Amino acid sequence: MPTYDLKNTKTGEVKEMIVSISTMTEMVESGEWTNQINSAPKLVTHSGSILNKTSSDWKNKLTQIKQGTSRMVKNSIHD
């Protein structure tokens, strides 16, 4: 279910609620709550280095590729 920031029109209190869209619509239409759309979504894609989270097999393959490239070719593979 989605998360909504809803503000109580009587008290001014803002609550983060996990409700269905139909329930949120009913709450807003009742007049007791207003929908707050003033913040960015809270997303975490990843943290730390992706290379650190790969298997040792993949790191070994990158090393093999790096060793097999010619000195004339600019090497952009880093350990």
Q: What is the pLDDT along the chain (79 residues), one digit of tens a residue?
A: 788 888 999 998 988 888 888 998 898 999 998 887 666 666 777 677 776 777 888 888 888 888 876 666 665 666 5
pLDDT attached to residue 42: 66
Full-model pTM: 0.44
Q: Locate all alpha helices (DSSP H) within 1-79, ordered by sequence.
A: 21-29, 56-68
pLDDT attached to residue 30: 92
63 close to 72: Cβ distance less than 8 angstroms? no
